[in-house]
Amino acid sequence: MSLKELVSQNYISHPAFGPLASESWKIEDSLIKDFNAIYRDSRQPLSTDQLNQALNQLSVIFASLHKQAASEHSRQFALELQSLCVEFIKQEYTFRKKIKPNPDQRIRNGKTKALLEENYFFGNLSEQATTKIQSIVNPLIQEFRKRAADGKLKRSDLSQDSGLANWRVGALLDKEFRKQGVFKILAEAFGVRYTYTGMSIELSVAGSTWWKDSLGQSTPPATMYAHLDETVYAPKSIVYLSEVTRENGPTSCYPGLYREIKNSALQDIIGRVVGRVGATAESPLNSYYAATYHQTVGSENFRRHFMSLPGELRFNSHFGWDVIPGSELESRIKAEELVMTGSAGKFIVFNGSQLLHRGGLIEAGERIALQVVFYSGSKWLNRLSSALKLLKLQSK
C-alpha cells in the first residue's frame, strides 16, 4: 500500500476518527482536478489570472460543501476553512512574486543540492559564536529554569521570541550564517533572497506535556508531534546550545516522506490550515472545540468536522499525533526517522513545509536551542521593524 493510501486509511481505521466518517461530504472529482490544474505546486510565480481562477474554483468547491453541512457548526467549519484557504493562497501568491527562477538550473553548492533534494542540511557554528550566544541567553535560561521548577511548563513559559537577547543573538547568527554561506544557499535553492533571521530562545525540560498524545490512547504513537510547517517558503533552522542526545529532545526529520504522500494541491492547502479553524477567540467554534495548542484533534467536535471532509481533501499537516500505534503507517514513518544529536553549535537548516519533522519531546534532562526563521526582503527594513518592536516592549 502506498504511503498516501496508508495516511488516508489511517483515519478510517482510527477508533477516534473512523466512527465519525459515516456522513462525509462528497465532491465531484472534476472540481478538484480543475483546481489542481490551475494551482499547481510550483516554484514558479503565479499570474494574477491564475490566482483569480484558483479562487473562483475554490468558491465552486466550497459552495458544494456548504450545501451538505447539516448543522450551524459544520457550516461555520466550512466557512472558516474556506477563508483560511483563501488567505493561504493569497499569501503564497504574494511570496511567489519574489521568486527569481534560475534560468540555467545550475547548482553551485552541495548543500543547496541537499536542501533541494532532501529539504535539509547540517552545519556547525564556530566555537566563538556558540560561546558568545550561550553567554547572552544564559540569564534568560536561568529564569526559564525557575519557571519550570514552579510548574510552568508550557512552551510559552519557557521560550522568548523577541527582546534584547533575541536582538543580540540575531546579529551574531546573521554574521555567522553569512560567513558560512547559508543565505546564498537559501537563495539558490528557493529563488528568493533571504536576508535576516528571527528566533525563539527555548528551554525544553522533562515533565512538559504539550507534545503528549491527546486522544486518550493507552499507548501513544511513536510519531507524536511529527508535522509539516503550515507556512510555505519559510525555511528554518534549529541551533543547539547544549549537548543533545536521544533522550533530551533531539530534532528528528523524515526525509522523503512528504514527497511520498503525494497530496494534491488543494488537499495540501487544507492540511496546512485546517488546524487553525476555530483557533481565534472570535470564532463561534472556539469554545465548541475547546482545543489546545496544535492538538485540535483532541476535540471530538473538531474530529467530526474534519472527518466530514471528502477523503480526497482530508489531510492534517500535524498528523503525527493521529497515527494508530502499532500500525503499518507508524512503522513506515519510524523507519525513516533521522535523529539529530550533537553538541552545542550544531544546527540544521530545513524546509519545514516539505520535511516532516519534530523536536523538543523531552524524556529526561533539558535541551537549550534556538528555533530560527529566515526572512526575505530588505535586511535593514527587517532590522528596523525588529528594533521598533524591541523599543515598544521596553516602553511597557
Domain that holds residue 150: 110-260+331-395
Nearest to 204 by CA among 373, 358, 375: 358
Cell, residue 219: 499507548
- pLDDT tens by residue, 34-51: 999 988 755 667 789 989
CA distance 28 to 24: 13
Residue pair 147/111 in contact by the 8 Å Cβ criterion: no
| Residues 165-188: tens digit of each pLDDT | 999 999 999 999 999 999 999 988
Report whether pLDDT(18) > 70.
yes
Query: So what's the pLDDT on residue 396?
Result: 40
What is the average pLDDT value for the chain, to the nearest integer? 88
**Could you give the number of structural domains in the chain?**
1
- Contact yes or no for 135/168 (Cβ under 8 A): no
The CATH number covering residue 352 comes to 2.60.120.620
Are residues 306 and 316 in contact, defined by beta-carbon separation less than 8 angstroms? yes
Q: Which of 88-102, 170-184, 239-253, 286-300 has the lowest mean pLDDT?
A: 286-300
Q: Tens of pLDDT along 294-324?
A: 567 778 999 999 999 999 999 999 999 899 9
Residue 94 included in any domain: no
Q: What is the pLDDT of residue 394?
A: 41
The pLDDT tens digits for 255-288 are: 989 999 989 999 999 999 999 999 888 999 999 9
Decide if 165 contacts 136 (C-beta within 8 A): yes
Any domain includes 352: yes
Write a three-state SS string for 59-128. HHHHHHHHHHCCCHHHHHHHHHHHHHHHHHHHHHHHHHCCCCCCCCCCCCCHHHHHHHHCCEEEEECCHH
pLDDT at 388: 45
CA dihedral angle for residue 74, residue 79, residue 82, residue 88, rounded to 10 degrees = -110
Question: Would you state the pLDDT for residue 102?
Answer: 61
Q: Are 305 and 315 in contact (CB under 8 A)?
A: no
Quick one: pLDDT at residue 179? 95
Query: Does 293 reside within a domain?
Result: no
Classify the C-alpha dihedral 272-107-48-262 as positive or negative. Answer: negative
> What is the number of alpha carbons within 13 Å of residue 55 lying toward its C-beta?
17
Q: Does residue 19 sit within a domain?
A: no
The better pLDDT of the pair 388, 112 is held by: 112
Per-residue three-class SS string for the chain: CCHHHHHHHHHHHCCCCHHHCCCCCCCCHHHHHHHHHHCCCCCCCCCHHHHHHHHHHHHHHHHHHHHHCCCHHHHHHHHHHHHHHHHHHHHHHHHHCCCCCCCCCCCCCHHHHHHHHCCEEEEECCHHHHHHHHHHHHHHHHHHHHHHHCCCCCCCCCEECCCHHHHHHHHHHHHHHHHCCHHHHHHHHHCCCEEEEEEEEEEEECCCCCCCCCCCCCCCCCCCCCECCCCCCCCEEEEECCCECCCECCEEEECCHHHHHCCCHHHHHHHHHHHHCCCCCCCCCHHHHCCCCCCHHHCHHHHHHHHHCCHHHCCCCCHHHHCCCCCHHHHHHHHCCEEECECCCEEEEECCCCCEEECCCECCCEEEEEEEEEEECCHHHHHHHHHHHHHHHHHC
Question: Using a CB cutoff of 8 Å and minimum separation of 24, what contacts does 381-389 make?
Answer: 382/195, 382/196, 383/196, 386/162, 386/167, 386/170, 386/196, 386/198, 387/167, 389/162
Confidence band for 392, pLDDT divided at 50, 70 and 90: very low
Does 123 fall in a domain? yes
Would 177 be classed as within a structural domain?
yes
Residue 302 lies in a domain: no
Can you give the C-alpha Rg of the chain in angstroms?
21
**Spatial contact of 266 and 81, defined as CB atoms under 8 Å apart:** no
> Is residue 198 situated within a structural domain?
yes
Q: Of 104-113, 231-240, 331-340, which range is least confident?
A: 104-113
Average pLDDT over residues 208-223: 73
